[in-house]
Structure 1
Amino acid sequence: MSASTSFADSIVTPAGIDSLGCLADSLHKSHELRRPDLAFYRKRVDQEQVSQVRTDASDRGFLVGVSMSPQHRRSIFRGRQGSHHDFNRGGIYIRDFSEDYRADIHGAFDFLLVELPRAFFEQSGQDRRGRIPGLKTVTGLYDPVLEHLAHALAPALARPDEASMLFVDQIGVAIGTHVMQRYGGARAPRGARGGLSRLHEERAKQMLMEKVKGNVSIPEIARECNMSASYFLRAFKESTGQTPHQWLMAQRVQRAREFLRDTELPLAEVAIACNFYDQSHFSRVFSQVVGTSPGNWRRHSRG
């Protein structure tokens, strides 16, 4: 994954401790994917041991964790007082980075985590006076929505070079919006009646097409249209019937059809020409959109 400047790049941690306060040597899996407005993590320990997590208070915002594995216990300490919490698959926690945090995790665990910085709440327009809405402190509560979104996001963290960052952004915005509404008391925004204006729709599509391999963020396009990321996603789908990721893939498939019909280029070269990651990615997306493989479509298109 190419390096990029983001809100999390300036985080400084002691040697041997990662940005979430985990002992790096104890982790059997540690993935990080940083976007301009959000950061995503996957942390896993396979051995039955006690893992310690500790972070000092900071202004990083909030951390949302979703358990991807069943049955482990977390002991959280505030001063000398400790509380014990059991997690099953789909159990979540939300913690505020503005508070010191110390916890012992008993046994193997696997978490997908999303860091929501303060800027995310400000850009969402939930507080017109610029204040960050507080989130409930949640530990071990089952949340089926976040469980589903975490599993949809997991492959992108494992293979970021093959992932669509547009898709990652869409999932991230969905997670942040759900958390704000369910655990922060934010009001659900009104529907995007009428969708985007013609000018905003044209500008959004232009930005999507100009960026190679979808290397543009949803918040970046939303800011260009002077709206929050969550509102932009709803308005774009209202206007086009598709999410930005779906729309961009459809444009690439349409271009690929022209190459398949009008040229003799091998499938691998068509994939490159149409900004797919490789032939496998091209074949998978083409089959999902069209209902048949590129090779079959080429043969039938020529009679």
Structure 2
Amino acid sequence: MYFDRPATATPACGDFSPAYDNRLPAAATAIPPALALRYSRLRLGEALSPEMRHPDVLHLVHGSERGARLRVPRDWLSVSLPLGAQLRVDAEELGWPIERGSVLVWRGAVQLASGNGGHWLSLCGSPQAWHRAGADAGLLGELFADEGRCPPLLARFLVRMAQALRKADGTGVAAPELLAGACVLVHEQQRPLRELLPRCSGRTTAARRRTLARLLRIQHLIRSQIGRSPDMAWLSRQGNYSTWHLSRIYRAAFGHTPSEYAARLRLQRALHLVRDTALPFCEITEACGFESQSSFCRAFKQFSGMTPGAARSAAIRSRAAAGIPC
């Protein structure tokens, strides 16, 4: 199992070898009994609703087998990341996968589930539990609900916390430096989002933050329905904007319209499926939401500079040259 591996093994999200200790602050290499936090490990088919058991403590939940599910309640803040394969997420009547190497920061109700048995971690709790555990209230208050690339150090810090808590029988003992470091890393990971605030509408910083939060929700809705063309009328209703106003402020913040963003996501997914799978092009056309195979081929060539057939052949030759089985 993932947490049973020797220290020299290489986990999916980074190197947890002893050499990593040299890159940590000295205080963080020890695990003093200073932080109240509860560790839970979910195995085959197990489910957990932490607010029913320990609503006032911060939870570090480790999903380790197929069917393991975590239900995070309303008003809680969660930081979740897959360590192996995909992590299935359900929230706001939508479902989508989080790929390995990503982190999801979420405010509110969400359900996390192991797909094919890959390991994942979620640090979650009410605002009071985060503060009681010693997290910086200022940093937490600036976090947006968003999915992005996972800083490798964040995965390492959370794994170290889980390992320490597991050794303590999950009774809530871990280094405060690890939690503080994790909060700083999540906050820093979202720096590019905060740099968008001057481009958002609003007379005050608080108003601009509300605008950006609404636009990020629209962006999330587009990502969660990548196989379909965006319904601009529906997206506009979700943000309480008119269609014209949504396109205008979305472009002002992100540099492109919602439709342009959705098109780029579909083509990026198509490029992955062409290069890294053997799916027939007709199935890729359908999976990525194109109206016909001819429209898919035209858009693909404009995006990548080559036809789907040429891109797949080039990927096969590249893997063969590297000695990677096709």
TM-score, normalised relative to structure 2:
0.36
- Decide which structure has greater helix share: 2
> As a proportion of its length, which structure holds more strand?
1
